[in-house]
Amino acid sequence: MKKQRFLLLAILLCTALSAFAQYPDSSISKDLWYKNTIIYNLEIGTFKDSDGNGTGDIEGLIQQLDYLTALGINTVWLAPFQPSPRKDDGYDVSDYYGIDTTYGTGGHFAELMYQARKRGIRIMMDIVLNHTSDQHPWFKAAAANPTSKYHDYYSWSKKRPAIWNKGMAFPGVQTETWTYNKEADAYYYHRFYDFQPDLNFMNPMVKSESKRILGYWLNQGVSGFRLDAVPFIIEKPGSDPDKPEHDLNIIPEIRRFVQWRNGEALILGEANVIPEENNDYFGKDGSGMHTMFNFYANQYLFYALATGDIAPLKKALQDTRDIPPTSQWMFFLRNHDEIDLGRLTDKQREKVYQQFGPEKNMQLYDRGIRRRLAPMLGGNRARLEMAYSLLFSLPGTPVIRYGDEIGMGDNLNLKERLAVRTPMQWTNGKNAGFSTAGHTFRPVIDTGAFAYQQVNVAVQQRDPASLLNWTINIIRLRKECPEIGLGKWQILETNTPGVLVMRYDLHDKTLITIHNFSNTAQKVKFSAPDARYYNLTGHDVIQTSQGTFTADIPEYGYSWYRMENFR
């Protein structure tokens, strides 16, 4: 183990030294592909149905790879596609080594990997190691026989623990975290639904099994994993779930295994933690998760979008900037879950609710909003563009949700988070072009302003001014600005509290971005080195005096500028 740790540190050191050699002004290497990729999150079942049975499948995804290529996508992150009873949309896995037959076979998956690789697209997958389905053979064996080796794959108690109703992941929906199993005559632990018993990672056999699972899928050609519920994986059973004890050694152990199997493989951690805990997950030397979602900043981002007050967002960005040079934040606007606002104060959260989720059925788990971005912003094109321009210009890697490139809506009649998991809207034909079936497994959005008859890929492909074509252009622009993912950044002070101005520097490149969160036009003034400015988007910047610049930014406006010859 010590030898492996030494060799891994040697690899990390060589990577860092190579970075310094390539970029004397940056401690980050271009070889870290995840720094400047564009990640597109989709669910196979809701993306495209190829055989007319009403559910999306792998062959349907293969058919749409050229669309993703044209969009500018480098990396596709797949929601769970392994066998599952699907009580939690696939996050209740019953076989870690298989393909859900609804989606296809191992042969279909191999073809997907081949076709994606041909187009230069990497495939990442959700890996749900914190818990299994209660229909998994491990849990069935564990419940049937307390002497089975699988019994200790889970956490059990003969008596109901005093903390039986604490630490619920889904408050308002869950009622307990310890549930009685009649066959075992014992209570089992589950952070999520009662049909998702938690695995016990304090058991060495569970750790070994998890590595086999990761190794199997790396061998199938995936480029990385979105690791679900990381804080719960490393939680020590029996500790207070509101203030749990963690075994932080598990994270670098997983990283070492993945890195040895594939030196370029990525681990994207789902860990909604406070800034003081960030480096517990990244590792102080960068030996933990390669990347994590910046949930903390995302909550203040939505507060800024709702109120125009950007001070908390600026602070959140500063509070989360101190991470290892080989690590990276993943920024997003919407994902497959609710918008989590749990870190905001009650007053701040209420302001976001008033703007984006005023009705009770728009809210979820006493902390979030279960809507897509376009309906939250009232379909306002200027606000949508500003929000996505901001996403692509934040200091990290952008992640977009399928359908957001066309401004898809949500279906609040669906249960919980399924509201934002409706079928992709390809055309204005039957079932939005998603399927030829008489009935789709989940209804397409066919009423209101976001119905597929008006909002779909085909109609937007023909319209040069569409949101889809605008998104293609902003993705291209993001790829032309590697300093966002690789360089140093700073927030520039202005005379306008509702306008965020950021500067990025990488070697001989400098970029300035301006975003107006206000619903009124603003004249923004900021200081920067004397330089020649090239306007990449939006509105002209004017140098009023040496080192002082101004720009007139309309309501919800944005601009990107390239600086040249400033040294």
Active-site annotation, residues: 228, 270
CB 74 within 8 A of CB 120: yes
pLDDT at site 79: 98
Torsion angles phi and psi, residue 431, rounded to 5:
55, 35
Of 479, 512, 547, the residue that ends a domain is 479
Query: What is the chain's length?
Result: 567
Q: In a 10 Å sphere around its CB, with 0-12 CB exposed, 13-18 middle and 19+ buried, how is residue 457 labelled?
A: buried
Using DSSP, state whether 204 is helix, strand or coil.
helix
CB 156 within 8 A of CB 234: no
Q: At what angle do helices 295-307 and 346-356 cross, to 10 degrees?
A: 60
For residues 473 and 494, membership in a common domain is answered with no
Q: How confident is the model at residue 509 (pLDDT cuts 50, 70, 90)?
A: confident
Provide CB contacts within 8 A for 457, sequence distance 6+.
67, 406, 424, 425, 426, 427, 433, 468
Beta strand ranges found along 362-507 (DSSP E): 363-364, 368-369, 397-401, 488-492, 499-506
For residues 469 and 552, membership in a common domain is answered with no
Q: Which one has a higher pLDDT value, 6 or 390? A: 390
CB 329 within 8 A of CB 320: yes
Residue 336 lies in a domain: yes
What span, in angstroms and rounded, lies between the C-alpha atoms of 92 and 84? 6
What span, in angstroms and rounded, lies between the C-alpha atoms of 229 and 125? 14
What span, in angstroms and rounded, lies between the C-alpha atoms of 181 and 144? 10
Residue 200 lies in a domain: no
- H or E segment to which residue 300 belongs: helix 295-307
pLDDT at site 565: 59
Residue 202 lies in a domain: no
pLDDT at site 529: 77
For residues 443 and 533, membership in a common domain is answered with no
Give the Cβ contact number of residue 13 at 10 Å: 11
Q: Give how far Cα 187 sits from Cα of 234, 286, 364, Å.
A: 20, 38, 27
What span, in angstroms and rounded, lies between the C-alpha atoms of 177 and 371? 27
Q: Give how far Cα 294 sits from Cα of 143, 226, 461, Å.
A: 38, 14, 32
CATH number assigned to the domain comprising residue 94: 3.20.20.80
Q: What angle do CA 139, 140, 146 make, to 5 degrees?
A: 80
pLDDT at site 284: 87
CATH number assigned to the domain comprising residue 520: 2.60.40.1180
For residues 402 and 287, membership in a common domain is answered with yes
Task: Give tens-digit pLDDT for 137-182.
Answer: 999 999 999 999 999 999 999 999 999 999 999 999 999 999 999 9
Question: What sign results for the dihedral spanned by CA atoms 266, 269, 274, 278?
Answer: negative
For residues 294 and 224, membership in a common domain is answered with yes
Q: Which one has a higher pLDDT value, 140 or 542? A: 140
Looking at residue 221, its amino acid is G
Residue 86 lies in a domain: yes
Here the tokens at position 37 are 């990729």
Residue 119 lies in a domain: yes
CATH number assigned to the domain comprising residue 162: 3.90.400.10
For residues 176 and 234, membership in a common domain is answered with no
Give the position of tokens 């564009």.
Answer: 38
Task: Give tens-digit pLDDT for 42-70.
Answer: 999 999 999 999 999 999 999 999 999 99
Sheet containing 156-157: give its strands across: 156-157, 186-189, 178-181
For residues 409 and 298, membership in a common domain is answered with yes
CB 361 within 8 A of CB 411: no
Residue 413 lies in a domain: yes
CB 211 within 8 A of CB 253: no
Q: Are strands 186-189 and 156-157 parallel, antiparallel or unpaired?
A: antiparallel
Of 460, 479, 498, the residue that ends a domain is 479
For residues 57 and 159, membership in a common domain is answered with no
Here the tokens at position 414 are 């669906």
Residue 356 lies in a domain: yes
For residues 76 and 147, membership in a common domain is answered with no
Residue-number span of the structural domain to which 496 is assigned: 487-564
Lowest mean pLDDT, pick from 205-209, 210-214, 536-540: 536-540
Residue 195 lies in a domain: no
Task: Give percent of the chain above pLDDT 70.
Answer: 94
- H or E segment to which residue 468 belongs: helix 467-479
- Total domains in the chain come to 4
For residues 305 and 401, membership in a common domain is answered with yes
Give the Cβ contact number of residue 443 at 10 Å: 14
Looking at residue 28, its amino acid is I
CB 267 within 8 A of CB 274: no
Q: What is the mean pLDDT of residues 473-484?
A: 96
Of 422, 452, 479, the residue that ends a domain is 479
What span, in angstroms and rounded, lies between the C-alpha atoms of 364 and 173? 9
For residues 270 and 317, membership in a common domain is answered with yes
Give the position of tokens 């209660």.
Answer: 134
Task: Give tens-digit pLDDT for 103-139.
Answer: 999 999 999 999 999 999 999 999 999 999 999 999 9
For residues 429 and 297, membership in a common domain is answered with yes
